[in-house]
Amino acid sequence: MTTSRLTPRSRGLRQICGLAEDRIWTRLRGGAVDGWKVRRQHPVGGFVVDFVCLPLRLVIEVDGGVHERDEVVLNDHYRQQAIEALGWTVIRFTNAEALADPARIDPARIDAAIRDRARTLGL
């Protein structure tokens, strides 16, 4: 599926995001992480990802309970491989992590991923 065909789906997903994604979005929005702009529900390589920092080619995914089912785990694995094959880095959090306390969405892990990508890309 091309990016232009995914745009309406992305817009729809932004309207129905869950509480966990909302909490992480609060942590990421408005350049809150080292000034890097993050978008939510954005097309990347034929997929709609939860959050993306375009200049850093960084994807942040939030996985709900359904992502624990074997067939979904396998699908997530192939999806992540496809995205990473395009030169992106993917990091994941669970809904439980986001719902427990959004401030504890391991900011060090997000910050480290952002700094690592910026360094790798020379930005």
Query: What was the pLDDT predicted at 95?
Result: 75
Please state the rounded mean pLDDT for residues 13-35.
69
The pLDDT, as a whole number, for residue 17 is 58
Whether residue 33 has pLDDT greater than 60? yes
Q: Is the pTM of this model over 0.75?
A: no
Mean pLDDT, all residues of the chain: 76
- CATH code at 59? 3.40.960.10
Question: What is the per-residue pLDDT for 82?
Answer: 93
Q: Which domain holds residue 29?
A: 3-120
The whole-angstrom separation of Cα 35 and Cα 32 is: 6
User: Quick one: which of 56, 58, 50 has its CA closest to 76?
Assistant: 50
Structure tokens at 46: 């034929």
Task: Indicate whether 103 pLDDT > 80.
Answer: no
Place 11 in a pLDDT band, splitting at 50, 70 and 90: very low
Structurally, the chain folds into a number of domains equal to 1
111 Cβ contact list (under 8 Å, min separation 6)? 33, 34
* Residue 101 to residue 79: CA distance in whole angstroms: 27
pLDDT, tens only, 57-94:
999 888 765 546 566 678 888 889 999 999 999 988 87
